């Protein structure tokens, strides 16, 4: 389920539908609880991977995403310091 959600970029609704197709009686809330419980080890590993990657990278590629908000054009910039 974790692989479907994170690596497969499947929505919770699609995961629920897939599980129900296999005969599993499960609700959307149950799937969300499974995906969000006991994730401390995953979060710690992700932070370590990010830290190591930023420390060893010669350069970092970022997404410069624009969005309109309150009649103004705003941009999000991520910088490495």
Give tens-digit pLDDT for 14-65: 999 999 999 999 999 999 999 999 889 888 998 999 999 989 988 877 766 6
64, 75 Cβ separation under 8 angstroms: yes
The H or E element containing residue 49 is helix 40-56
Q: Is the pTM of this model over 0.75?
A: no
Higher-pLDDT residue of 61, 78:
61
- Chain centroid to CA 11: how far? 11
- The per-residue pLDDT for 57 is 87
- For the chain, the straight-line distance linking the first and the last C-alpha, in angstroms and rounded, comes to 36
Q: Determine the Cα–Cα distance for residues 52 and 18; give it in Å rounded to an integer.
A: 36
With bands split at pLDDT 50, 70 and 90, how would you rate the model's confidence at 2?
A: confident
1, 31 Cβ separation under 8 angstroms: yes
């Amino acid at each position: 389920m974790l692989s479907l959600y994170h690596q497969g970029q499947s929505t919770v609704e699609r995961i629920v539908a897939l599980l129900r197709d296999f005969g599993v009686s499960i609700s959307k809330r149950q799937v969300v609880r499974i995906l969000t419980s006991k994730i401390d080890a995953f979060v710690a590993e992700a932070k370590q991977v990010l830290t190591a990657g930023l420390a060893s990278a010669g350069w970092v590629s970022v997404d410069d995403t624009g969005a309109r908000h309150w009649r103004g054009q705003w941009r999000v910039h991520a910088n490495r310091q």
